[in-house]
Amino acid sequence: MGRLEGQVALVTGGGDGIGRAVVERYVREGAKVVVLERDKELAKAIEDAYPEPVAAVVGDVRDPATHVTATRCALDMFGRLDVYVGNVGVYDYGAKLDDLELAQLPGNFHELFTTNVLGYLLGVRAASSALRHRRGSIILTSSSSGTYAGGGGALYVASKHAVVGLVRQLAYEFAPDVRVNGIAPGATRTGLTGVTGLGGDRHLREETGMLDSIAKTIPLGFVSEPEHHTGLYVALACAADTGFVTGAVFPSDGGLEVRGRRAARSTGEATP
């Protein structure tokens, strides 16, 4: 028996990166999963890979109607909704405020915040009564940028701090029916892309120089793969394991809290 046997989950951005790894792990744990994904080919690929337990809805998280369709898909195809994973996010590739064109800033802000923050609000709102009915679990992907400065620019870091605020407020509003928690990954080798004009044509996994230099700042010494985070998504979905946990955000970031000089692996001594 998998830990999510008989459960039904909805994962946004489940076509690639962390979302896809969560979908694959949920399926292995026995869940049925609805994937909400903007990219038609990625949506088809995940559905083709798991034709029985996965149903994909193509749509954009900035569109309220898309979320209604995705929740309805879970209820119509699989009969219920137990777990909601809000996961779609876009990056700003570390753009500093002074480097942003004043006239472009409202557009940059709008695209990033409607995707990273409004997208979660819309998804939770559309799914809330189905989740309350099942006394389910909501999991939102934040970031190490929800705690620390310097892992992105002002737009991205502020949006991920906002996700931490959503976790707290929604945990308050949804108790005692639905648990609401967050996961805060650190740097992960994915296709993470930026908003238009701020890395909109870049994909993090192709930025090898950037990833190599990030790895040097991480106490564990490497950039994570999407699979490194999936155990937390399973645990927070599973009431038997985390039934007394709500309003919490769990880091999965290689130990940034003990950032500073990382110990040399062989000697355990501080590196220069």
CB of 20 to ligand NAD, least distance (A): 7
CB of 141 to ligand NAD, least distance (A): 4
Q: Which is nearer to ligand NAD, 177 or 183 (CB)?
A: 183
Listed ranges 23-31, 96-104, 171-179, 187-195: which one lies at the site for ligand NAD (CB under 6 A): 187-195
With CB under 6 A as the contact rule, the residue among 71, 147, 193, 230 that binds ligand NAD is 193
The backbone region for 260, taken as left when phi is positive above 0, alpha when psi lies in -120 to 50, beta otherwise, is left
Partner residues linked to 85 by β-bridges: 11, 139
Q: Are 194 and 153 spatial neighbours (Cβ–Cβ below 8 Å)?
A: no
Partner residues linked to 181 by β-bridges: 139
Q: Are 127 and 120 spatial neighbours (Cβ–Cβ below 8 Å)?
A: no
For ligand NAD, the binding residues in 203-262 under the rule CB under 6 A are 204
Listed ranges 22-30, 88-96, 164-172, 234-242: which one lies at the site for ligand NAD (CB under 6 A): 88-96
Angle at 87 between CA 244 and CA 172, to 5 degrees: 35
Catalytic option among 91, 156, 172, 233: 156
With CB under 6 A as the contact rule, the residue among 7, 9, 10, 19 that binds ligand NAD is 19
Q: Where are the alpha helices (DSSP H) in the chain?
A: 17-28, 40-49, 64-73, 105-113, 119-134, 154-174, 208-215, 230-237, 239-242
Residue 10 CA neighbour count, 13 Å, CB half: 34
Q: Is the dihedral of CA 89, 92, 94, 98 positive or negative?
A: negative
CB of 252 to ligand NAD, least distance (A): 9
* Residue 39 CB partners (closer than 8 Å, separation 6+): 15, 16, 58
Active site residue 156: yes
- In the stretch 29-58, what mask flags binding to ligand NAD with x, by CB under 6 A? --------xxx--x----------------
With CB under 6 A as the contact rule, the residue among 9, 22, 61, 139 that binds ligand NAD is 61
Residue 7 CA neighbour count, 13 Å, CB half: 29
Q: Site for ligand NAD (CB under 6 A): how many residues?
A: 28
For ligand NAD, the binding residues in 101-160 under the rule CB under 6 A are 115, 141, 143
Q: With binding defined as CB under 6 A, does residue 16 bind ligand NAD? A: yes
Distance CA 140, CA 142 (A): 6
Instruction: Give me the residues that bind ligand NAD (CB under 6 A), please.
Output: 13, 15-19, 37-39, 42, 60-62, 87-90, 115, 141, 143, 185, 187-188, 190-193, 204
Q: Which residues are catalytic?
A: 156
